[in-house]
Amino acid sequence: MMREAVGSGKTVEEAIDSALAELNIPREEADITILELPSRGLFGILPGKDAMVHVRERFDPVLYASDWVENLLAKMHVNARVSVRKPAESIEISVTGQNLGPLIGRRGQTLDALQYLTTLSLNKKTADFIPVSVDVGDYRKKRQLVIERTARSAMNKVVKTGNKVILNPMSPAERRLVHMALSEEAGVVTYSIGEEPRRKVVIDIKRD
């Protein structure tokens, strides 16, 4: 949720400075609304009023996500380029460069952690949940093609032999790709067995 504060002061500028200090943000990152102008009072009978302003943090989720990942990579001493797209109501982050294997990790585990942390950090500052996808060196795209080919090859074997095929352990996201790839195939069924992190997809003949 966007952060906001109400500031007061003898002048409008003092009120703005008070609210900015409370939020700990610079003026260029704030939307400011003047609620009340200061007054001196009337003939010393009625008291004067302080200025009051409403300040709301200006938040760009695309810029925030890009800066957050770039800062994290800098701390990891990784020299890479970060680009961000915002199709529909989600954010897609792509990291490109040389020697990015450590950012991917074994079977994409480091990449999954990077995506999770980015999603968590971003959505602490938003009112509505924004899904975030992070890819490094097109790993996810390449991995998706491999998984889909593996799934269809296994399906052909199941149809030919009538015996089920159990694929190697996969992450939840990768298992979902298998289920989606074969969801329109009338002759087979897919389901998962086992416990994380060794959970596997089974491809079998659809039996009445």
DSSP labels for 138-184?
THHHHHHHHHHHHHHHHHHHHHHH---EEPPP--HHHHHHHHHHTTT
Structure tokens at 15: 């009120």
Q: How many Å separate Cα 114 from the centre of its chain? A: 9
State the pLDDT confidence band at 12, using cuts at 50, 70 and 90.
Answer: very high
Neighbour count for residue 184 (Cβ, 10 Å): 6
Q: Mean per-residue pLDDT for 176-195?
A: 94
**Interatomic CA distance for residues 114 and 183, integer angstroms:** 29
The confidence score (pLDDT) of residue 33 equals: 95
Q: In the sheet that 200-205 helps form, which strands lie side by side, from edge to edge?
A: 165-166, 200-205, 188-193
Whole-number mean pLDDT of the chain?
A: 90
Please tell me whether residue 79 adopts helix, strand or coil conformation: coil
pLDDT digits (tens, 9 = 90+) for 18-64: 999 998 889 988 999 999 999 876 655 667 789 999 999 888 889 88
The confidence score (pLDDT) of residue 2 equals: 67
Q: Mean per-residue pLDDT for 83-105?
A: 90
pLDDT digits (tens, 9 = 90+) for 66-82: 999 999 999 989 999 99
Identify residue 156 by its one-letter amino acid code.
N
> Closest by alpha carbon to 19, among 56, 59, 60, 58?
56
The confidence score (pLDDT) of residue 162 equals: 93
| Per-position DSSP letters for 19-67, written without gaps between them | HHHHHT--GGGEEEEEEE--B--BTTTBPPB-EEEEEEE---HHHHHHH
In this predicted structure, the answer to whether residue 208 has a pLDDT above a threshold of 80 is no
**Interatomic CA distance for residues 116 and 132, integer angstroms:** 8
The confidence score (pLDDT) of residue 128 equals: 85
The confidence score (pLDDT) of residue 29 equals: 85
Q: What percent of the chain has pLDDT over 90?
A: 67
In this predicted structure, the answer to whether residue 197 has a pLDDT above a threshold of 90 is no
pLDDT digits (tens, 9 = 90+) for 113-138: 999 999 999 998 887 899 999 999 99
The confidence score (pLDDT) of residue 1 equals: 57
